Structure 1
Amino acid sequence: MLKFLLSRLLTFVPTFIGVTLISFAFIRVLPGDPIIVMAGERGMTDERYAELTAQYGFDKPMTVQFWDYLTGVLQGDLGQSFVTKRPVWDEFFSLFPATLELSVCAMIFAVCLGLPAGVIAAVNRGKLFDRTLMSAALVGYSMPIFWWALLLIIVFSGQLQWTPVSGRIDLIYYFSDATGFMLIDSIRSGQDGALWSAIRHLILPTIVLGTIPLAVIARQTRSAMLEVLGEDYIRTARAKGMSPLRINSIHALRNALIPVVTVIGLSVGTLLAGAILTETIFSWPGIGKWMVDSIFRRDYPVVQGGLLLIAVMVMIVNLTVDVLYGIINPKIRKR
């Protein structure tokens, strides 16, 4: 198992360097001058422009700028925001709990509905339930996030007024965000109605963000289950008189989990990408909205550091998925 883990860790090095290069180049190909965005066009003299350019190192060759950036990253320094003057580390981890809370709820929503839906659809292959469920999954996967979000806001926030439009909790509640997770902090506050308010604010963003992973997990689970249900050992289990519940839940589902776990791991990247739109639409104060605002402000250190940290988290999740492969199927460890 250790050799298997070390082989996966070795892939981190080239991936990390590649992501660093991409994040460095990405922000620089966008139109707009960060110096003018920071200082404003009014009152900007040539002397002041040259001074700020030298101060932030933009007068150096690109190769030198990238080397300075890479050296700083390897030393754990992601730089400071041009706008807030705060370290990127501090800003990221102050906002990350909001995104993590939303992403975890969306993933729980997707897995808890997608996994049993895929299993039931496979067991009822070709029947009305199977066709209806897979059609709904295709529609859910095809819907743009921004359109789905606006539709839910119009119906549930505008027409029915069941859920709030934006934010994480009603303004009447005020307490310290000790953990950064609103559900936990609302419970710790002891204020009546705070937890329910946090849950109501979380419902629509969770559904919007979790719909695409839900559809993918349901379709992948159905496909994997159909393949496993045709194996000889499943027919043997049926011949021995085992109950369908035991066959489907233990023998079939366990062996169908490997591709499903792969999809769940890959969905983490989808969640983080979808969080950018979801957080922007719902004014959710997480790293997605923070990244969008930083792109508009040409805040180079924030965009570079944010992209790098998000990529590292996705890499860690993929490593975790690889480890789960080895636990689910020990034969994979020998590859």
Structure 2
Amino acid sequence: MKDNVVLEVSHLKKYFDLGHGRTLHAVDDVSFSIREGETLGLVGESGCGKTTCGRTCLGMYNKTDGQVLYRGKDVHALKGSELFAYKREAQMVFQDPYASLDPRMTVSDIIAEGMDVHHLYQNKAERAEKIYGLLEKVGLNKEHANRFIHEFSGGQRQRIGIARALAMEPKFLVMDEPISALDVSIQAQVINMLIRLQKEMGLTYLFVAHDLSMVKHISDRVAVMYLGQIVEITRSEELYSHPLHPYTQALLSAIPIPDPIIEAERETKRIHLEGEVTSPINPAPGCRFASRCPYATARCKEATPTLKEVGTGHEVACFRVTGE
């Protein structure tokens, strides 16, 4: 395993057959790596393939092509005890805390569901002790253990979902837009909690989101995804201070600023994308962003740019930026 890389994704593809000769290219030749203890933010508009990418990395979806290596082992080739161990060590926190938690189960049973399957306790007393400890870790208390989900707010439900994932004693977590369904006032609390838990438990995150303002606070590096492909990836501070891909620039220009005077002054600098979004169903050759890009040339519509390093750790898939 090189440079403490926990997850290495190489040329990953995930297509869905829609019938009648139509194929949805949800994830189309994606490559990235995540080091131990790092958070990689995966951002982009809804429908760009972020969630599908995360689920394919966990083995929840079979890949179409490419490779996902977890600590050097091919995720999609794991069997038996190795697969069982991976399912414990790599967990997912789902986007919707209302849909992902069973309303017929108590909080205690929800959190302990995976612990029961993997036999992570010796007796009922240890099971209860672990549940209470996990509730405390996520900012709840043991009195919540015997309640049902309908008694909790959205923020509390998401904390319970996080406790359920942590109960497996994981090392790698895919966070699938874990704050998008929450009130803005609660989002920062959950982000700060995730940062604290990462430090305390030595966790590695793939943080999927479309809200770039929140991603900035939790991510070490950020990958920007557009219609199944990564168009830019670099350190978080570099992306926000020096975005190079036209799509990244447009996304960042749309982040609201909580100051009406500054926001009004910046309105003239906001990049408004025009043109139709290219269909990910049987896409034609060329850059997927070409139909909306103000700098697109004839070449952009004929050839597909690949990620090229333009600075230390800063990769961009754009002919204009790379000078190709």
TM tier, smaller: under 0.3
Greater fraction of residues in helix = 1
> Between Structure 1 and Structure 2, which shows a larger proportion of strand residues?
2
Greater radius of gyration (CA): 1
Larger RCO, structure (CA 8 Å, separation 6 or more) = 1
TM-score scaled by length of structure 2: 0.21
TM-score calculated relative to the size of structure 1: 0.21
